[in-house]
Structure 1
């Protein structure tokens, strides 16, 4: 709940376009500047009261809210990497030697020290006996099998260097080292590490709650009667899915009419429930832009970002609650989310995971407005080329549905030839 107070493949870091000046030559806000404005808007939500401690099984997909220091070393003791014989390397001459077999060491046991001239059958993961400093795999011994426990036996082993097939204590992480940093996205690997350190729960950022509002008299909910001049609302589903996939809790307010008073009332009804408001539509410079009209007197600014699609953007606070106003075309609103909201959430709260960036080669030529950062839909193919899906227009939902990547053409680039290298964000 909001308090009403004021270049190669990588999966790390926050995707960002090539460096840009604060404003473009045409006076529009740059992509980089608008993303910083979104960051500044949401940063106050990083407060101590907005964290919670969860069992590991419930923390998947969250962002870590504190540094984790290893309370113990991993492995906590030297152990065997193989099924074999634990030996003292000083007992085995260069040509190999015969050793008396002693009691086996199963995983989970605390073995007796290994005496000179002996070898202990040892299982993978079992603690290395004191005095032993190497393991000889059972298949390299003669005989190449473990003797029956309790029977007197001897085994011939080849020479081995100290440390052979031994996992040293602390070889993964030493006690006192930083295991994970605050802001880390918690996937299976990260949660597995925390569990290995013996920690049953973890401090994470609370999921933000977002009020999502679609605007427009021309928009109809899917399943409704489609009259002349009307279209079905794809933006609500598109953004709700994106927000939920990014780990946010979404309150869907439905479709608001083009009446500013009605929109203000709708937003006001939910203010105490949400941390962020996201609207789509009604932000351009036309005569009936309801979001612009409804924000009259509020701390909300509307400007054009030098980006195609998704140029018109609104940002600010409605009665103290952070608000982002995205344009109404389906591709424009999704690109706005991917370029501005998603990467900032990843950076500030550790969730969602940052998009994977790759470098790919264009499968065909393209053109782009020289003064804008263009984002095209595409499919990254197995051969490392990216096929563009659809054209530049922001209404091409089918092209979006058949894409697995966003292709970036930096501001200042008006054309790229087939085979040109581009930055691609995997969806």
Structure 2
């Protein structure tokens, strides 16, 4: 039976934009024969029991998450990279996986999502290359909001320039000038209202007290909390747990570090730390990319062609077994976009229930429309939007040059000449 692995689409030359998905692809590519599994670049985690990717589908079984996938393959198919580990190494493996989730996970969130500069210039563009156009309004913002919530306790919200600018007070708040000044401050460029002299103190107005430098100190500390223990664990060995072959732990380490190492972000503090302070880890990542993925640089455009059924993986000489995903109906997806992104937030919030002493046994009345009314509104809005889109496409493809709309509205006979409609239309700009 052929296994199917669903992952978020590729980015930065890697098989996915998600660390757990990269680890799952690397693990299957190392253990499962090529003709026994297929790979799907997906964007809908709804079929997953936990609503997450990676998702491994085996007939009717659906397994979510890297650790669960590794366990399932080991127990059901004997695909196991950890078969030769000693009991001590097994314990180290469990501890190292928890360590990665605790330290590397928040670092990826800060690196690719919370940092407005990295998100706006790199991460958002990467999602545009792997998602249908209508899902770009919902999936990237949701994943960014989730990353912000996971890292809120770290006190690094200053990385988000837009959020930081909303907290400013005084004249000009929310204007283009204030946002420009906030962006300059986040980039370390002195504002025009600051004295040109460089003050290195920690007091008010000092360089070391600026949000940028305070955040950079914390980011460097977080990077060291991940990289230094990994460097100590790796030592002079080829793999983090020792041995002659990579383990499942090496796959997960690669999933996290590959994003931090290869993502072409403008604020690349983790990449700089890896290259300058931990060169052995830099060599380790490159070696794992060759052993787990055969150094293949994956093109999102090629994978998109395969995923949409326009081409086959063999047409591009791909080494990973990419296949097309099952086509999904456009209307339900667009309806979900309308429901999540267009309807007012009040219509989607929990209804306010009115309780009464005399009718406590009866069903409570809600002050908001019923779910049927909301779904009806979403359906009608979707139909109208689709109709307008079709009209726009038809208008755009019209061979007539010039003011097509005004020519279409102009009557064939001057039946309204007495009301001045002809003169009104002729006065409009062409």
Task: Look at both structures and tell me which one has the larger radius of gyration over its CA atoms.
Answer: 1
TM-score by length of 2: 0.19
Larger fraction in strand? 1
TM-score by length of 1: 0.20
Task: Decide which structure has greater helix share.
Answer: 2
